[in-house]
Amino acid sequence: MGNGFYYETEIGKIGIVENGTAITNMYFGDIIQQDVNIEETPLLKKANEELQEYFSGKRKNFDLPLEAEGTDFQRKVWKALQEIPYGETCSYKDIAENIGNTKASRAVGMANNKNPIFIFIPCHRVIGSNGKLVGYAAGLDVKERLLEMEKRNVG
């Protein structure tokens, strides 16, 4: 059993969960959807500090141990997401090509949807090939705010 804690952020309340060595999950709102001790640990405190620095524009890269549980394919996609530079976007097709599976755009979208550590694994930076914002667990308005904030703070 891990530990989790809630933090107020610019986009609302976020629950962060860790397993003792790495961040494993994040949740929008005030319900952590797994059995954890609600206790702030040094790792959760560091995760919140980095998240707050990100929202204030001071942090462009995270320095946290992450351990997202998923299939081999999902982990490959999530790794590719972490390579998208701050303030930039790419398409699901770009990610599919990046991981060597050009026909996997739809599967990339599904892996994005299952990303358990949003923001730290920046799935919000993936958009449709037509340039439109598509899908985000917290809603497209939050995705748009995150992308606009990053564009403002590039440099």
Q: Which residues have a catalytic role annotated?
A: 123
Contact (CB, 8 A) for 73 and 39? no
Alpha carbon distance 127, 137 (integer Å): 14
